Amino acid sequence: MAVNKMADVRITVIKKLKTDEVFKMYARDGMPEECGTMKEDVEYISKGMGMPEGFCPWAWADIQRDVVHISLGGEYPWVKGDGVMITCCTDGLRPVVFKLERIEEEEKT
Tens digit of pLDDT for each residue in 35-76?
Answer: 999 999 999 999 999 999 999 999 999 999 999 999 999 999
CA 7 to chain centroid, in Å, comes to 16
Q: For the ranges 1-5, 30-34, 82-86, which has the lowest average pLDDT?
A: 1-5
8 A C-beta contact, residue 71 and residue 49: yes
Give domain status of residue 63, yes or no: yes
Give domain status of residue 2, yes or no: no
Cα→Cα distances 58→1, 7, 54, Å: 29, 23, 12
Q: Domain total for the chain?
A: 1
**pTM of the predicted protein model:** 0.89
Give domain status of residue 86, yes or no: yes
| Residue 38, domain extent | 8-108
8 A C-beta contact, residue 103 and residue 10: yes
Mean pLDDT of the chain, nearest integer = 92
Give domain status of residue 1, yes or no: no
H or E stretch covering 68: helix 57-71
